[in-house]
Amino acid sequence: MTSTVTQAQPVSPARTYQVRTYGCQMNVHDSERLAGLLETAGYRRAPDGADADVVVFNTCAVRENADNKLYGNLSHLAPRKQSDPGMQIAVGGCLAQKDRDAVLKKAPYVDVVFGTHNIGSLPALLERARHNREAQVEIVDALEQFPSTLPAARDSAYAAWVSISVGCNNTCTFCIVPALRGKEVDRRPGDILAEVQALVDQGVLEVTLLGQNVNAYGVSFVDPETPRDRGAFAALLRACGGIDGLERVRFTSPHPAEFTDDVIEAMAATPNICPTLHMPLQSGSDRILKAMRRSYRAQRYLGIIDRVRAAMPHAAITTDLIVGFPGETEEDFQATLDVVEQSRFATAFTFQYSRRPGTPAAELADQVPKAVVQQRYDRLIELQERISWEENRAQVGTTVELLVAAGEGRKDAHTARMSGRARDGRLVHFTPGASPVRPGDVVTCVVTSAAPHHLIADGALLSHRRTRAGDAHEAGVKPKTVGLGLPGLGVPAPQPSVSGCSL
């Protein structure tokens, strides 16, 4: 497929854009691609707080309230659209993939609807909508082009997302994502490492490898003749360790059923792999896990955690949990509490089960009453808050290395604290003192106190290292990546013949 980036006609530099993102890290990274596409087509990012000529909603469909949030926000733009017909609204992402033509029925003032598989079409669709003066809907049902072949306008000078796969082969009964993102397809290792190197060359210190089921990497490379390589993910982690200047590597989210000991060994043996693991549990009840089609059980999950901590004693482990899955009894919920107590998660992202049309779980008869779900949810939050606080208090007195961040946590004018992430992913608010510390710099300090969701380091800095990433942040320069020559899917188009000499 020929990239639509080259097909879109450049627009006036005066036209501005804004991308509003909902949902997971995949969507955050897709929004960087959308921004890159629009800037390549001649748009410029609207200043914070200013009205944009084009507003793009990159949507999520995982939670039931995602629909309400989108259409509520769209309705807020309706009066402006009515008063300024030249302003355009585009809706993309998972909810657009799911609702398709229904978006225009609910919000007829929307100009463009596009799906998860064709984000590269956005500039051309916007221009077509302007030219034809009618809404454009383009939803394709299969991936035509890796998103990583598209330009990206990165949000950070010091940390970057790198997609290693798209899609998911799991069939979890509560999840609509596989239906919207498609089957898993993996990028070749050399292409991934080339993107990482390009980012590091621009000063990036930390990358997060992204996949819907990141540790299944190796199941389906672009070349259908390439067999599955079960050791591919561990090998990729080790290869990241060989990139000079890459200080931190994270990945999200692995699936417990695919988690193998070679990944643990790679994490422990590769210095720039961070000692942190986000591994969704969802439920501690084997009966509920089976109903969810999660192909592991509680003891396997706990065994993985034990092996990770044996190899990396100070690793911070986080998780996802769902409360109130259809058929969940008090006994099932208590099993979840028991596993949470044993796991000692640094933090947990907890969700009340959301009934999503199109998923098998939505058709189950034994939906748990809302009041019961809420009561269980509150109990789970109370337990995890206690554990998080206990785990964070254990960090008091330890020395941490922080990658200084922008926009993390609430600002405190009285203390003038800044924020950063420790290598294990914990958020630390620290006092910079007289040192001119910038986001993207690296500091070390001693933890002086703790709260459930953050640590505090109010003593003097032990060290402060100015970095190229800090220089870039200070100058307002963010890395950009362009298509790295990655192939589209299917048979490549024939190349034109060349006669004579070519210099």
3-state secondary structure of 75: helix
Q: How far does CA 206 lie from the centroid of its chain?
A: 14
Same domain, 75 and 106: yes
Average pLDDT of the residues in 137-164: 84
Q: Give tens-digit pLDDT for 49-71.
A: 899 999 999 988 777 677 778 88
For residue 24, say whether it is annotated as part of any ligand binding site: yes
The last residue of a domain, from among 75, 109, 138: 138
Same domain, 369 and 296: yes
Q: What are phi and psi of 502, to 5 degrees?
A: -130, 120
Residue 308 lies in a domain: yes
Residue 112 lies in a domain: yes
pTM listed for this prediction: 0.85
Same domain, 72 and 212: no
Lowest mean pLDDT among 7-21, 166-180, 202-216: 7-21
Rg (CA), the chain: 23
Residue 486: pLDDT over 50: no
Structure tokens at 208: 């997060």
CA 375 – CA 333 distance, rounded (Å):
11
Distance (Å) of CA 326 to CA 95, 292, 361: 23, 9, 7
Residue 229 lies in a domain: yes
Distance (Å) of CA 74 to CA 90, 287, 360: 10, 41, 29
What is the percentage of the chain residues whose pLDDT exceeds 70?
89
Average pLDDT of the residues in 137-163: 83
Same domain, 180 and 116: no
Q: What are phi and psi of 464, to 5 degrees?
A: -145, 120
Same domain, 343 and 417: no
Same domain, 194 and 94: no
Average pLDDT of the residues in 127-149: 83
pLDDT at 497: 36
| CATH assignment of the domain containing 172 | 3.80.30.20
Interior/surface letters 316-354, b for 16+ CB within 10 angstroms, e for the rest: bbbbebbbbbbbbeeebbebbeebbeebebbbbebbbbb
Q: Give tens-digit pLDDT for 324-353.
A: 999 999 999 999 999 999 999 999 999 999
pLDDT at 484: 46
Lowest mean pLDDT among 212-216, 290-294, 376-380: 212-216
Distance (Å) of CA 27 to CA 92, 116, 418: 10, 9, 27
Residue 6: pLDDT over 50: no
CB atoms closer than 10 angstroms to residue 96: 27
Could you give the number of structural domains in the chain?
3
Same domain, 389 and 411: no
pLDDT at 13: 53
Residue 4 lies in a domain: no
Top mean pLDDT of 12-26, 372-386, 426-440 is at 372-386
**Cis peptide before 463, with omega less than 30 degrees from 0?**
no
For residue 445, say whether it is annotated as part of any ligand binding site: no
Residue 238 banded pLDDT, cuts 50, 70, 90 = very high
Same domain, 25 and 121: yes
> In this structure, are residues 154 and 480 in contact, taking their beta carbons and an 8 Å threshold?
yes
Same domain, 222 and 356: yes
Structure tokens at 65: 């309230």
pLDDT at 225: 67
pLDDT at 20: 93
Which residue segment(s) compose the domain that 418 sits in?
Answer: 398-475
| CATH assignment of the domain containing 408 | 2.40.50
CA 137 – CA 334 distance, rounded (Å):
47
Lowest mean pLDDT among 89-103, 301-315, 359-373, 415-429: 89-103
pLDDT at 140: 83
Residue 71 lies in a domain: yes
The last residue of a domain, from among 345, 369, 394: 394
Residue 32 lies in a domain: yes
Residue 207 lies in a domain: yes
Same domain, 112 and 161: no
For residue 175, say whether it is annotated as part of any ligand binding site: yes
Under DSSP, the state recorded for 272 is T
Residue 503: pLDDT over 50: no
Same domain, 381 and 419: no
The last residue of a domain, from among 138, 165, 197: 138
Residue 180 banded pLDDT, cuts 50, 70, 90 = confident
Residue 444 lies in a domain: yes
Q: Give tens-digit pLDDT for 256-301.
A: 999 999 999 999 999 999 999 999 999 999 999 999 999 999 999 9
Same domain, 117 and 154: no
